[in-house]
Amino acid sequence: MPRKTMFVALRDLSTKDCVLAVAVTHWIFNRREPADPRILFVLLLLVPAATSLLLFLHYGTILGTVLAFSIYHASLIFSVVLYRTSPFHPLARYPGPFLAKVTRLYWTRIALAGRQHIEIGRLFDKYGDAVRIGPNEVHFRDVSVMQAMLGSKGMPKGPMWEGRALKTPILPLVGLRDNTTHSRRRKPWNRAFSSAALKNYVPVMAKRGSQFVELLAERREVDFVHCVHMFTFDFMADALFGGGSEVMKDDDKDGMARSVKTSFLDSQIYEHLPWLASLARHIPGVGEKIKRFRAMCTQRGISRLEKGSSTKDLFYWLSNEDGSEKENPSRSLILSDSALAIIAGSDTTATVLSILVYCLLAHPETYERLQAEVDKFYPSEEDSLDPKHFSKMPYLEAVINETMRLYPVLPSGSQRSPERGSGGFFASQHFIPEWTSVRIPIWCLHRDPRNFTRPDEFWPERWLIMDGLEPHSEVLTHDMNAFVPFSFGPRNCVGKNLAMLEMKVVAVHMLQRLQLRFRKDFDPTRWEHVMEDRFNLLVAELPIVVERRF
């Protein structure tokens, strides 16, 4: 074969190979979005490197390599963008910003700014109740879709927790994507937070609640957010490990309570770009705060398992010390839930209590009415750490519910995705293809006027009116199916009863013993506007002045 003819044949062959390689890579990327670095290495580096070999003879090593990589990646980007924005994409029917359809980086930027809850509300108002916010993700503002997604036959969790957990081999309970495995792993948690088991946590809750209120009284001027996070951390350490934490006493000098927040903040990028999580897990120095926090929780768990139980703490149930299961779970399985319990049990409750205090101080009439209810059932001589009267305090319940309605602690809700191998999922009138992630942003659901009258107002009385405890002449919209601060269904918050009890104990004891007010230089009108959606709701400092009532 003449030399010129051979070069032409090689160029044609390399072009065909490059096109074929791009087509195969596109097929893998267009729906599955692989996150494994090894797969990414093969698809994005090894394949174009192999095609470049065919260009060396004609263009030389450097130019051949540059041409092969440029043609390959330009063709791949063009084909992926064309497909994701085309009418042939499975999610083409859902409107949304053009860039959101093209790349996950669009929503990642919004998430890292903490503005997801605000931006998705704006998009709902613009596009309607279904918005495509990523190449393979849709958000819904629809109660009927939510009930199908989260109900007894709903979808398992989406891939976000694989990223947040840095691709650990054993995922925590909240991240399990197999329904059967989740049902089995949840059983000891259900026993741990049953009505009977809750009584075991009351003594330590009372002890820590008393310590917390005394801390506020002694300091007189405090950042309530900081103090309440120390309280919930100490309490969860007691409830989970049977003790071992005194951050209230030493003012968190080692930063253990702060590590909950920092690790959660740092894990947000991996939630949205899960392929980074696999890299972070193996590269020293990357994701270090997350690794240190998980290591601290694991070490606490190991110490607790070696020590055995002195009380019926959470590990008592997780390690099957009650003997309910035929086989004991492995140590690694038990330890995988250590970080989950600390974060879910401390950060969320502390946030709700912080917002509760803010709402009371920003609405003096609500503060006064709740104070009167507390004084009625818990006068100065009554033990306000004893929950015996809580069931007779409807306004206390109403204030907590209204706090969680207006400021849900998980503003964007939890990601769900059809079970692998299922082919897809029908949610009301929507078909959700496999490999698609979906969410119901709770912030938007709770503030939708179709679900609640005066949705943007803090109005606890709505709950009394709907229960027939207070008269009202107007017809109210109050859809309890849309009120999901703890989610609902088989994957709802397993510790919600403990959280509600903890919030009531703290609120009642605090209002019985203390008088609170904002610090003079604090501007309460700005506080809501600087809240950030970091999966959990992140609130700013809340400077208050504290005085003893007696």
- Reading the chain (550 residues) residue by residue, the pLDDT tens digits are 454 554 444 455 456 666 777 788 887 776 566 767 788 888 888 888 887 887 777 778 888 888 888 888 888 899 889 999 999 999 999 999 999 999 999 999 999 999 999 999 999 999 999 999 999 999 999 999 999 999 999 999 999 988 888 888 888 999 999 989 999 999 999 999 999 999 999 999 999 999 999 999 999 999 999 999 999 999 999 998 888 889 999 988 888 888 888 887 888 999 998 888 888 887 888 888 888 888 888 888 898 888 888 889 999 999 999 999 989 999 898 888 887 788 778 889 999 999 999 999 999 999 999 999 999 999 999 999 999 999 999 999 999 999 999 999 999 998 999 998 899 999 999 999 998 999 999 999 999 999 999 999 999 999 999 999 999 888 899 999 999 999 999 999 999 999 999 999 999 999 999 999 999 999 999 999 999 999 999 999 999 999 999 9
Annotated binding site for heme: 493
Instruction: Give the position of tokens 């818990």.
Output: 378
What pLDDT was estimated at residue 455? Answer: 98
Distance between CA atoms of residues 157 and 159, nearest Å? 7
Q: Given this model, what pLDDT does residue 9 score?
A: 45
pLDDT attached to residue 260: 83
Token reading at 396: 């206390």
Q: What share of the chain is helix, strand, coil (3-state, %, to 5)?
A: 60, 10, 30
DSSP 475: P
pTM over 0.85: yes
pLDDT value of position 1: 46
Q: Which domains does the chain have, with CATH numbers?
A: 3-84 (no CATH), 173-548 (1.10.630.10)
How far is the C-alpha of 478 from the C-alpha of 400, rounded, in Å?
Answer: 16
**Degrees, nearest 5: CA angle 68-74-80:** 130
**Can you tell me the distance from the alpha carbon of 476 to that of 242, in angstroms, rounded to the nearest whole number?**
46
Q: Which value, to the nearest 10 degrees, does the dihedral of the CA atoms of residues 351, 354, 356, 359 take?
A: -120
Q: How far apart are the C-alpha atoms of 318 and 20, rounded to whole Å? A: 51
CB 517 within 8 A of CB 545: yes
Which residue ranges make up the annotated binding site? 493
Which parts of 392-450 are beta strand (E)? 424-427, 430-433, 437-439
pLDDT number for residue 10: 45
Question: Is 490 within 8 Å of 522 (Cβ atoms)?
Answer: no
pLDDT for the residue 42: 86
Q: Which of 155, 159, 186 is nearest to 173 (CA)?
A: 186
Distance CA 542, CA 227 (A): 10
**What is the pLDDT at residue 14?**
57
Q: Is 541 left (phi over 0), alpha (psi -120 to 50) or beta?
A: beta
